[in-house]
């Protein structure tokens, strides 16, 4: 076989294979189209059935609509007739209302005149009643106040008599006590009598010392409970604790006082500002 013959054989073989492949593809495609066509035909048949059902339903509804239109037309005629009848009745009623309104206006005018007269008389009556009630109320209040004042006057008179008696008794007792105190050689000054007791718990500082070291001013006074005659201890804390002596109150103010040194201080130590004065001695 020649070379050209071999080439032809090969070409024929290639064309045969290509034709075979094309045939397979065509067959396969034809098979798929047949199945798709069957499915679409089934869908078309189903749609045709549904369309027929819808046509039947539409015809039935159209028939119902025509019947409803006829019924509506009859109902409209009946309503129009009823409306016309009602309008006639309304016109008649309006005429009757107009007549009644005319009569009512006349009655209202008559009633207005009567009500005005009655209101005026009622107002006058209420004013008279109010004035009478106010007068009676004021009279009752005056009676109550008068009774209360009489009771208060009596109570004050009793209290005044009692106070006069107590005052007289106190004066007599005060005179007798003063006489007894003077006979015993004691002072009847109440401040001195108060000072004879123990001072309250207080503590302060010396704020000023005179040149003789006998009189001092202190930072505590009457507001702290001190009176003339009270005795306080004096001590110093720095540089070491040290007892210095005693002071007796000579004069008091609300926030300060003046005292005198009783006897001599311990070892003759001079007092100075900042020393402590107290009703008790610290440990």
User: pLDDT (tens digit, 9 = 90+) per residue, 101-110?
Assistant: 888 888 888 8
pLDDT at 181: 64
Residue 231 lies in a domain: yes
Residues found in the chain:
283
**Paired tokens of 267:** 């070892």
**Paired tokens of 149:** 């004042």
- Which CATH number covers residue 262? 2.40.10.340
248, 260 contact by CB (below 8 A): yes
Distances (CA, A) of 168 to 33, 63, 159: 146, 129, 14
- Spatial CB neighbours of 9, under 8 Å, sequence gap ≥ 6: 1
Residue 164 lies in a domain: no
Distance of CA 7 to the CA centre of its chain: 113
- The phi, psi pair for 259, rounded to 5°, reads -135, 165
Residue 236 lies in a domain: yes
* CA 200/CA 278 separation, integer angstroms: 10
Residue 229 lies in a domain: yes
224, 232 contact by CB (below 8 A): no
Q: What's the angle, vertex CA 276, arms to CA 262 and CA 280, rounded to 5?
A: 70
238, 282 contact by CB (below 8 A): no
pLDDT at 219: 95
Which residue range forms the structural domain that includes residue 266?
198-278
pLDDT at 106: 87
User: pLDDT (tens digit, 9 = 90+) per residue, 185-238?
Assistant: 555 555 555 555 678 999 999 999 999 999 999 999 999 999 999 999 999 988
Residue 247 lies in a domain: yes
Pick from 226, 233, 160, 150: which is nearest to 191 by CA?
A: 226
Tally of CB atoms within 10 A around 275: 24
Residue 4 lies in a domain: no
pLDDT at 277: 95
Bridge partners, residue 261, by sequence: 247
Q: Kindly report whether the peptide bond that precedes residue 239 is cis, defined as omega within 30 degrees of 0.
A: yes
Helices then strands, counting H and E runs in the chain, come out as: 2, 6
- Total domains in the fold of the chain: 1
Q: CA-CA-CA-CA torsion for 69, 72, 77, 78, nearest 10 degrees?
A: 150
Residue 218 lies in a domain: yes
Task: Using 50 as the pLDDT threshold, list the residues of the chain that sit under it.
Answer: none
pLDDT at 240: 87
pLDDT at 204: 95
Q: What's the angle, vertex CA 113, arms to CA 109 and CA 116, rounded to 5?
A: 130
Taking the CA atoms of the chain, what radius of gyration do you get in angstroms?
Answer: 67
Residue 217 lies in a domain: yes
User: What's the pTM?
Assistant: 0.36
pLDDT at 214: 92
């Amino acid at each position: 076989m020649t070379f050209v013959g071999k080439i032809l054989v090969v070409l024929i073989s290639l064309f045969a294979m290509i034709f075979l492949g094309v045939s397979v593809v065509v067959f396969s495609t034809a098979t798929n189209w047949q199945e798709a066509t069957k499915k679409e035909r089934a869908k078309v048949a189903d749609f045709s059935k549904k369309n027929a059902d819808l046509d039947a339903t539409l015809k039935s509804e159209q028939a119902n609509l025509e019947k409803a239109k006829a019924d509506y037309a009859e109902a409209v005629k009946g309503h129009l007739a009823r409306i016309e009848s009602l309008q006639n009745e309304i016109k008649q009623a309006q005429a009757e209302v107009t007549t009644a309104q005319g009569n009512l206006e006349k009655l209202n005018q008559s009633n207005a005149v009567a009500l005005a007269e009655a209101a005026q008389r009622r107002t006058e009556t209420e004013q008279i009643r109010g004035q009478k009630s106010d007068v009676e109320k004021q009279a009752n209040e005056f009676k109550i106040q008068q009774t209360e004042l009489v009771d208060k006057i009596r109570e004050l008179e009793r209290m005044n008599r009692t106070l006069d008696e107590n005052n007289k008794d106190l004066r007599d007792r005060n005179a007798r006590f003063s006489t007894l105190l003077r006979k015993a050689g004691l002072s009847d000054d109440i401040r001195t009598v108060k000072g004879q007791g123990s001072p309250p718990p207080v503590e302060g500082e010396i704020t000023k010392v005179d040149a003789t070291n006998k009189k001092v001013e202190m930072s505590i006074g009457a507001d702290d409970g001190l009176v003339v005659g009270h005795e306080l201890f004096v001590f110093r804390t720095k540089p070491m604790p040290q007892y210095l002596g005693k002071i007796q109150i000579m004069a008091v103010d609300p926030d300060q006082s003046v005292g005198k040194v009783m006897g001599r201080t311990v070892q003759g130590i001079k007092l100075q500002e900042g020393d402590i004065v107290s009703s008790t001695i610290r440990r």
